[in-house]
Amino acid sequence: MSDRRNAPDPQPEAPLLARAVVALYPPAWRARYRQEALELLCDLDCGMRAAASMAWRAVPAWLWPPRHLHDRAERMRASLAAALVAWSMLAGLGLVFEQLTQQQPIRPPGHAVIGWSYAVFDGAFVLSGLILAAGGLPLWLLMLRRARRLRSARDTVYLLLPALAPAAFLGGVAILARFISNPDGIGPWWFLAVTMAGFGAAATAAAGPGLALRRLRPRGPAVRLATTACALATATMLLAGVASVIAGAGLSAWARGFAGYHQAAPIGVYLVLVVAAGTVAAVSAGRGARAARR
């Protein structure tokens, strides 16, 4: 990494396409190879073929990052921070699913697949949260002690965000509910606004410990435990996501008269979001788990 400090400035004449394809690579790869890769692309006149080959090879660089570019603890911290945010998005999607299905006053007609999917979703969702909390607690306490020792108010706030952000969100929802006295509940636009605010709160709650990880740079068994727990929690949350998609598809197929489940668009959007968040969570958690195992 010292090369980065000693490296000459990036070529101002490097074409935008060259800089764009190199920007697709992970930060650690860019820190090590950016200069020379840009130089090579310039030597090759940055043709479409060279640019396409560089862009395509960025995928394995993310999936299987070169071992020599990271120290182990740093990779665990980076993967943990990314996986936490993706996990919180999955959890948020799960809560939306819960609200739109099991929490509705009218129960859809029973079907074995829907019933089992609900049960698997509930079990996996709760288990995932418990695993993450239990595995992350020692690391959280370690960082909190370090933040207090350093008298860093900012890091303390970051570490308290997992409690502060959801509390602020729930407080806001409670206040909002007082002003809306509609017996049929809130309308779709209000629901969308509350849902977006919920995702914002979830992302903020997850980003807090991620920022503290970057600033406090903890090492040792607590980081390894939290990374392993995060991988397990991600796996169980993915199981919950799959169960929710099966339940959603089941409702669409077998409960067509209930609410809006006969419409394909909502379940399609839900599926895309689960797959996107699940992919990021699985890749990040997998990278962290591989680093923790070595």
Rounded to whole angstroms, how far apart are CA atoms 194 and 66?
A: 41
Report the nearest approach of another protein to the CB of residue 31 (Å).
Answer: 13
Residue choice 5, 16, 43, 294 for contact with another protein (CB under 8 A)? 43
Q: Does 57 bind another protein (CB under 8 A)?
A: yes
Q: Does 259 bind another protein (CB under 8 A)?
A: no
DSSP secondary structure string for all residues of 117-168: HHHHHHHHHHHHHHHHHHHHHHHHHHHHHHHHHTT-HHHHHHHHHHHHHHHH
Q: Does 17 bind another protein (CB under 8 A)?
A: no
Q: Does 195 bind another protein (CB under 8 A)?
A: no
Report the nearest approach of another protein to the CB of residue 19 (Å).
Answer: 14
Residue choice 19, 33, 62, 134 for contact with another protein (CB under 8 A)? 33
Report the nearest approach of another protein to the CB of residue 23 (Å).
Answer: 14
Report the nearest approach of another protein to the CB of residue 47 (Å).
Answer: 9
Residue choice 1, 20, 23, 53 for contact with another protein (CB under 8 A)? 53
Q: Does 37 bind another protein (CB under 8 A)?
A: yes
Produce one character per residue of 167-184: b if its CB has 16 or more CB atoms within 10 Å, e if not: eebeeeeeeeeeeeeeee
Rounded to whole angstroms, how far apart are CA atoms 51 and 28?
A: 20
| Residue (of 20, 29, 76) closest to 48 by Cα position | 20
Residues between 68 and 87 with contacts to another protein, criterion CB under 8 A: 68-69
Residue choice 15, 17, 44, 137 for contact with another protein (CB under 8 A)? 44
Rounded to whole angstroms, how far apart are CA atoms 33 and 122?
A: 46
Specify whether the CB–CB gap between 245 and 271 falls below 8 A.
Answer: yes
Q: Does 109 bind another protein (CB under 8 A)?
A: no
Specify whether the CB–CB gap between 163 and 171 falls below 8 A.
Answer: no
Residue choice 1, 4, 23, 36 for contact with another protein (CB under 8 A)? 36
Radius of gyration of the chain measured on its C-alpha atoms:
23
Residue choice 1, 4, 20, 56 for contact with another protein (CB under 8 A)? 56
> Contact residues for another protein (CB under 8 A)?
7-8, 11, 29, 33, 35-41, 43-44, 49-50, 52-57, 60-61, 66-69
